[in-house]
Structure formats: structure tokens, C-alpha cells
Amino acid sequence: MSALLVRAVGGPVLVQDAGRPGHAAIGVGSAGAADRASYTLGGRLVGNEPGAAALEVVLGGLEVEADGHVTVCVTGAPAPLEVEGRPEPSGAVLTLRPGQRLRLGTPASGLRSYLSVRGGLELPPLLGSRARDTLAGLGPEPVRVGAVLPVGTRAPGEVLVDAVPPSRYDAVPVVRVVRGPRDDWAADPDALVARTWRVGGASDRVGLRLEGDPLGVVPGKGELPSEGALRGAVQLPPDGHPVVFGPDHPVTGGYPVIAVVVDADTDRLAQLRPGEELRFRWV
Amino acid sequence: MRLLPYGDRGLLVELADTAAAVSAAAALRTDTAVAELVADVVPGARTVLLVARPGVSVDRLRTVVPDEKHLLGAGNGAFGQGLPGPEVIIPVVYDGPDLAAVAELTGLSAEEVVAAHTATSWQVAFGGFAPGFAYLVGGDPRLRVPRRDQPRTTVPAGSVGLAGEFSGVYPRASPGGWQLIGRTDAVLWDIERDPPALLAAGITVRFEASER
């Protein structure tokens, strides 16, 4: 069996796949790729079956060495690629020969790149998934230097495309939100869409912490009984700074959710860097 | 009962109380029309969140949710009536650091707190705090106590706690604000086990006082 040997790591590198939905009742969330569209595209380009495990790489810096012939593709944040020091187009499908090293530089825009491997990463699944859940501490450990990542042999699809155009991310995205279910807990819910928000430094896969003029909270409502949550839910904590849940959000939460980002737009949220701005609009 | 939209993939079913939410979650989980359209059913304290499968609209999901009468009258859950589901016995050493505080808050003696905690069968209402953590309901109403003013930064695995109408067992060491009345050796979460969670929906729990 071939493998990828991890030679250098920059930002966090996690094993991710399509996630493990369906286990909320035992306190286990879905997790999975933060930018599902980029992850799915990468898997398709290397001919993988849906749900094959890939690497989610924050801000490049990853270097891997092929043990055997390994076909890979990088999607999402357009990290510049080098094979044995030679530049390769970002978004290209590359076959690494035994001993060759692939390096991901820092992407010009976006936050998370996906390194898909033909055959998928063959790590032990938990509840049907190889996704790392950073909040619950489930799934494969974060990838460190020296890790050996076995590559599977199942890849039903052909490799038909040499490269795709790299992704580009607009400066201040406007993401669509559906009002509610607890918009009556915000003094002025429309202020959510009227203001420009900045992504706080403590943001992660659990949630984007938004900075800006805080939202007013309706006083005297007491405590909301815990209720189920979803990625894209905009929670309003008592300090008025919204938190937008990411893939590793808590299964249930106690702060009111005043709006929920349209599912398709949550992928864009996964590419926002701390300090970048965003806006919302109602649908 | 109210149906609230939760983005373009979720529908939040809001009920009157936890008992109704437990019944509704059980009914929704076993409803074949609902099961065809949902990726997950997420029970909460007063709500059940239905998560649509990709490509299924909230409007379509709304059409298959049974009305309140059918949801709560399906005979699959009113608790306190002895569910047919499996029962799990959890042995507890009642020497928790908050046992005296709970006694004071409830006006009971420490022995009466233990007697009340072991006297009723509890039911799994929902999960969510950590893998394997189950919010248990159906206890003696005299045991309702607030959370601690100051959460602990570390609560050991196996700690048995109370908060509001709930009791629960910490599956692993974590921060926590519940009032701790005891500890157990029962393993709530083990990824080598199938299923990994000891407690799941529909399970009845009995606590038993143990010497050690």
C-alpha cells in the first residue's frame, strides 16, 4: 500500500471527509470538510468515491513525500504548489513518483486548501467517518511531522481532467441568512444585515467569532433551554457578538440562534481569514 | 407545537416541555416518511431539530411532520410510564463535592438526596455536551438545583451531577458547572465499543448507591 509521509506542517492539518451526520442523540456532531464544495471537487478530480478522506490544510506550509506512486490534487484556497522545488499549477492533478515531495505554499486568498489523494486516506473510521472533530476530540489526530498516512486503493473514477482553474475569493462576501428561529431575542435583528462584521482571531472550525458593533440582546428573557444546532447558525451570546457555527459546532447550544446562513454559503465562511470582513443579507 | 424554520436545511419542532420533546423525538425518529427526508434528528430540552438531507427543502420536510396529536399520542414515549426500552444500571459512590450543597439547596439530608436520586428511573432526553453525555430527565422534582455559580475548570470523568431538571454523568474529564453528587466507574463513551455510547435515546437509567 502506498502512503504519504508528512515532512513539514505549517498551519493546522486535519483529516476530513464528508462527516458523520446522524449521531446527534449521542452527542456526536457531523464535523467533516469545512469547505465541502472544494473537498468534493478535489475528490472527484482524482476519481475517488464520495466521502473519501482528504487533508484540510490551513494556510499552506504542508510538505508530503510519496511512498509509492500517489496521485493528488489541491483545491480550495489556491496554495502555490511545488514538486521537488519545481512550481506546478494550483488545481492541477499531479502524480508523485516514489520519493518525490509536494509542498504547499501560502495561498494568496482563502484559508483552507484540500489535498485529495486518489484512493483516499486509509485511516480507521469512527461511526463511519474519518473526519476530525476538533471540539469533541474524535477521529484521526491532527497531522504532525513524521506522520505516515496510508493511501487506499479504491478509486472507481477515471482521472479525466488535468487541472481546474484555481478558486478566487472576493474581498467582502455577502452571505445569505434565513431569519430565526430565535430572532425575537435580538433587540434589532436587522442590524445583523445592516452592519459589516470582522472575523475575530479566536475563530476556528467550531465557529467564526464576529467583531463589530455588538447587537442588542432583549433583556429579561432568561435562559434558553438547550436546542439543536447546525453549521451556519448565528448564535447571539449575551455580549452581543455573534458566533457563526462551523462544522465542529456543539450538537446542542444554549444561546439563541437569531439567523442561519444558507447551507450553500457556509463553504465561503470556511475560507475567511481572521481580520477579513463579511456582510449578511436576508433571504 | 410550533414549527420554526432553521435556515434552508433545518426545521425546529418546538414543544411545551421536555416530556413532550422526548416523546416527539422518539416518534419523529421512527416515522418512515420523516426518516426518508432527514439526515439527523437532534433532540433538545424543548425542541427537536430536523436536519434535511441535501436537496430536501424545509417546505417539503414540513409536509411530513405529523400534527401534535399524532406526534405525542403515538404511545412511544410518555415517560414515567415504563418504557419498553432497555434499562442501564449505573452504580454510584455518592461522595461528590457538592452533595452537601445540594442537600442544603433542596432542604433534604444527604441520605435523602441519594434516596431520591436512586428512587426513580431516568430517561435519556438528549445529548450534546460531549460524545456520550446524556441529559437525563424524569427524576424526583425535589432534586432540581441550579448550576454552580462558578463552573469547575476540570470535572473528573465519571462524575455524576445535577442541574435544573437534569442529571448526567461526565463521559470524560472536562470543564463543568453541574452540582456533583457522586462518581461512577461506568464507561459512558468507548470508541472501541459498538455502539461507543452507553446511553442513547430510549434507554432508561437507574442509579444504584454503591460503597466503592
Asked whether residue A9 falls in the same domain as residue A142, the answer is yes
**Whole-number pLDDT of residue B79:** 47
Domain, as residue range, for A241: 174-282
Domain holding B42: CATH number? 3.30.1360
Of A151, A186, A214, the residue at which a domain comes to its end is: A151
- What is the mean predicted confidence (pLDDT) over B175-203? 92
User: Measured at the alpha carbon of residue B6, what is the angle toward residues B2 and B7, in degrees to the nearest 5?
Assistant: 145
CA distance B78 to B24: 9
Is A156 among the domain residues? no
What φ, ψ does residue A9 adopt, rounded to 5°? -135, 135
DSSP state of B176: E
- What is the mean predicted confidence (pLDDT) over B15-21? 92
Condensed to tens digits (0 to 9), the pLDDT of residues B73-84 reads 765 444 444 455
Asked whether residue A22 falls in the same domain as residue A95, the answer is yes
Does pLDDT of A223 surpass 90? Answer: no
**Whole-number pLDDT of residue B81:** 44
- What is the mean predicted confidence (pLDDT) over B119-123? 95
Is 0.80 topped by the overall pTM? yes
Q: Which of A17-21, A111-115, B129-133 has the lowest mean pLDDT?
A: B129-133
Condensed to tens digits (0 to 9), the pLDDT of residues A79-100 reads 999 999 999 988 889 999 999 9
Asked whether residue B94 falls in the same domain as residue B189, the answer is yes
The gap from C-alpha B199 to its chain's centroid, in whole angstroms, comes to: 9
Q: Do A232 and B7 touch (CB under 8 A)?
A: yes
Question: Strand order in A81-83's β-sheet?
Answer: A86-88, A81-83, A101-104, A63-67, A3-8, A148-150
CA distance A120 to A48: 7
Domain, as residue range, for B37: 2-72
Question: Strand order in B47-52's β-sheet?
Answer: B2-6, B10-14, B47-52, B38-43
Using an 8 Å Cβ cutoff, are B180 and A4 in contact? no
- What is the mean predicted confidence (pLDDT) over A41-59? 97
Q: Do A24 and B128 touch (CB under 8 A)?
A: yes
Asked whether residue B193 falls in the same domain as residue B164, the answer is yes
Asked whether residue B92 falls in the same domain as residue B177, the answer is yes
Number of domains in chain B: 2
Q: Give percent of chain A above pLDDT 70.
A: 100
Asked whether residue B177 falls in the same domain as residue B101, the answer is yes
Is A163 among the domain residues? no
Residue B22: Cβ within 10 Å count: 27
Residue B196: Cβ within 10 Å count: 21
**Whole-number pLDDT of residue B84:** 59
Domain holding A198: CATH number? 2.40.100.10
- Determine the residue of chain B that is closest to A178 in CA distance: B7
Q: Do B6 and A180 touch (CB under 8 A)?
A: yes
CA distance A135 to A227: 18
Using an 8 Å Cβ cutoff, are B30 and B76 in contact? yes
- Determine the residue of chain B that is closest to A250 in CA distance: B128
Higher-pLDDT residue of A148 and B147 is A148
B-contacting residues of A 131-190, CB under 8 Å?
136, 138, 177-178, 180-181
Is B77 among the domain residues? no
Q: Judge if the upstream peptide bond of residue A173 is cis by omega within 30 degrees of 0.
A: no
Number of domains in chain A: 2
